[in-house]
Amino acid sequence: MTRAGFVGLGNIGKPMALQLAKTDGIELWVFDVAPEPVAELESAGAKAAGSVAELAETVDVLSVMVRDDDQVREVLTEALAAAGRRPGENQLTVIVHSTVAPDTPEELAATAEPHGVHVLDAPVSGGPMGAADGTLAILVGGSPEAYAAASSVLAAMGSKVVHAGPVGAGTRFKLARNLLHFASFTAATEAQRLAEAAGLDLVALGEVVRHTDAITGGPGAILYRDSTAPIAPDDFWHGVFGHVVALGEKDLGFAIALADELGVEVPLARLALDRLAPGLGLPKD
């Protein structure tokens, strides 16, 4: 039986904790400053703690899903103050699920080490929907020993758990993933403006994008190559990405021409036309 604790029962934290509450082999303890989600977790079989300190004295693995870096530091400080009162010799492992600044995980781990506490940074991808059905991607940085100690807890909350490397690697993995996410959102708003100026149905455009991305894999479809180095002519990817560039440059050129005709600003499209080929590792004609 693994004793797991969870701090931060918000939009994503609560459904993550609910996954733990229904997992065999895990005894869940929870804490939050809001009483309503704590009561819901108690109804699901979890035990309520009166403080972070109580959790740190009780559990083996403590998940933290709070708002920002400062709140994470506050939780860790309270946990470390109580870590010395733990019975036995089992080390506490703290999993930080909050997305924090790139250097924060190493800072947290250095603070925790003298107290004999392990820290993993393990931000998640998949949103409330993935949290609710246990299909989150969880991106983990930390030592092999800490990862092993937390593995059953992580597996209960996500269907894709990646041990990305040492402390900090999980956060950097998440930031790279979300760069793509939000840059794509910005490109989508550019496409909306173009479609609107052309008199098209924006909802229908969104339905087509979701339909075809489900088939092709969307932007993630190009992320199978293990390097960003220039591609040699005899490399398998040269032909694949050469085809992508040919189609992409043609269609981007047409879209920019339409935008010019309609008076719509499309700076991302112009940047994409300039950078698509070299970004994929091919020379620009």
Whether 146 shows a pLDDT value over 90: the answer reads yes
The CATH architecture that domain 2-165 belongs to is 3-Layer(aba) Sandwich (3.40)
Whether 88 shows a pLDDT value over 80: the answer reads no
CA atoms of 167 and 122, how far apart (whole Å):
9
Report the pLDDT value the prediction gives residue 11, as an integer from 0 to 100: 97
Three-class secondary structure of residue 47 per DSSP: strand
Report the pLDDT value the prediction gives residue 134, as an integer from 0 to 100: 97
Which residue type does 33 have?
V
Which residue type does 186 have?
T
CA atoms of 171 and 142, how far apart (whole Å):
11
CB–CB of 167/142 below 8 Å? yes
Q: Which of 14, 22, 160, 174 is catalytic?
A: 174
Confidence of residue 63 (pLDDT cuts 50, 70, 90): very high
The string of pLDDT tens digits covering residues 200-248 is 999 999 999 999 999 999 999 999 999 999 999 999 999 999 999 999 9
Identify which of 34, 18, 112 has the alpha carbon closest to the alpha carbon of residue 72. 112
Confidence of residue 90 (pLDDT cuts 50, 70, 90): confident
CATH superfamily of 173-279: N-(1-d-carboxylethyl)-l-norvaline Dehydrogenase; domain 2 (1.10.1040.10)
The string of pLDDT tens digits covering residues 170-195 is 999 999 999 999 999 999 999 999 99
Report the pLDDT value the prediction gives residue 86, as an integer from 0 to 100: 81
Report the pLDDT value the prediction gives residue 85, as an integer from 0 to 100: 83
Whether 285 shows a pLDDT value over 80: the answer reads no
Distances (CA, A) of 147 to 82, 140, 176, 259: 22, 8, 21, 50
Report the pLDDT value the prediction gives residue 115, as an integer from 0 to 100: 94
Identify which of 207, 204, 194 has the alpha carbon closest to the alpha carbon of residue 268. 194
Domain boundaries, the chain: 2-165, 173-279
Report the pLDDT value the prediction gives residue 105, as an integer from 0 to 100: 98
- When pLDDT is averaged across residues 120-144 and rounded to a whole number, the result is 98
What rounded mean pLDDT belongs to the chain? 96
Confidence of residue 84 (pLDDT cuts 50, 70, 90): confident
- When pLDDT is averaged across residues 153-166 and rounded to a whole number, the result is 98
Report the pLDDT value the prediction gives residue 264, as an integer from 0 to 100: 98
Report the pLDDT value the prediction gives residue 154, as an integer from 0 to 100: 98
CA atoms of 103 and 196, how far apart (whole Å):
42
CA atoms of 210 and 220, how far apart (whole Å):
13
End-to-end CA distance of the chain: 61
Q: 59-89 b/e with 16+ CB inside 10 Å = b?
A: bbbbbbbbeebebbbebbebbbebbeebeee
Active site residue 47: no
Query: pTM to 2 decimals?
Result: 0.94
The three-point CA angle 138-68-184 to 5° equals: 60
Helices in the chain by DSSP H: which ranges?
13-21, 35-43, 52-58, 69-83, 104-112, 127-133, 144-157, 169-197, 202-216, 236-262, 267-279
CA atoms of 48 and 110, how far apart (whole Å):
29
- When pLDDT is averaged across residues 269-280 and rounded to a whole number, the result is 97
Q: What is the dihedral of CA 235, 237, 240, 241, to 10 degrees?
A: -110
- When pLDDT is averaged across residues 155-181 and rounded to a whole number, the result is 98
Residue 7 corresponds to which tokens in the numbers above? 């701090």
The string of pLDDT tens digits covering residues 10-44 is 999 999 999 999 999 999 999 999 999 999 999 99
